[in-house]
Amino acid sequence: MANASQQLGWEIWGSELKSRREAAGLTQEELGLRLFMDRTLISRLESAERKPRLQTAIQIDEVLNADGFFERLCRKLLDASPYASYFAPVADLEKRATQICEFAPSVIPGIFQTAAYARAITIAANPFVTDAYVEEKVSSRLERATILKKTRKPECWAVLHETALRVPVGSPTDMAEQLEHIASVARQRLAVVTVLPHAAGEHASMGGMFTLMKFDDAPPTIYTETSFAGTLVDEPAVVKRAQRAYDLLRGAALPPEAALTLIESTAEDYRRCETTT
């Protein structure tokens, strides 16, 4: 019910955008030019096929003289989401992507996380929250992973830095199960997973993680994240540089079968650690 109610809220947001745009005598293309956006994105916002970023809502308020309406409703809907406000649009885009390319320098990507792993990193970042808060975050993380098993699933690639395999999150059992899960995803051909080994040294994304997403009917987008914020960018020049960086990362990474061997052997190491503690 919560998801349905939230979707209705975004539909109201989009319908109001269309109504106020037309009242201002602007076409989708004209509004897009004022917002430095493509007309198709305006169309998807109005039909609630895409969720806006908060900054986009603020810009729309300014262009349409909406007295903060779009920002206020956007904040309310984002606050009701189980995701951080900066990540909610990304979770929506994952469901629509035809290709997802992940680079994870230190943490297993969300769509591959097990419940125990997600629970451990949530508590590490939020040591004073309630169990209910933690379980909501874990549930939303697992829900994202369902895209890998849908009939129309994205082509998914992941380059994991070896650090993400070696840094223990939770108990040794938790880490063993997490790595075994990744291996299972790869063995089922739900994703192509490679590992950038420590021995590779410097690499093309020393600045941190990023995710590239491609779509059938929209420009490709890159998402980058720090511990406290995230940024979505669809500027072609930036996306092009990110794609080049990802190509370099894949070139420096282990072949998929060798990566699987490393992932599975590391899981065995955690299992041995479990039996000796």
Q: Is 124 exposed, middle or buried (0-12, 13-18, 19+ CB in 10 A)?
A: exposed
Sequence spans of domains, the chain: 2-79, 88-276
pLDDT attached to residue 277: 61
Report which listed range, 43-57, 79-93, 115-129, is most confident: 115-129
pLDDT confidence tier of residue 153, bands split at 50, 70 and 90: confident
Encode pLDDT of 221-242 as tens digits: 999 988 788 898 888 899 999 9
| Pairing mode of beta strands 230-233, 192-196 | unpaired
pLDDT attached to residue 207: 87
Q: Is 207 exposed, middle or buried (0-12, 13-18, 19+ CB in 10 A)?
A: exposed
CA distance 66 to 100: 35
CATH superfamily for domain 2-79: lambda repressor-like DNA-binding domains (1.10.260.40)
List the CATH code of the domain at 88-276. 3.30.870
Encode pLDDT of 23-47 as tens digits: 999 999 999 999 988 888 899 899 9
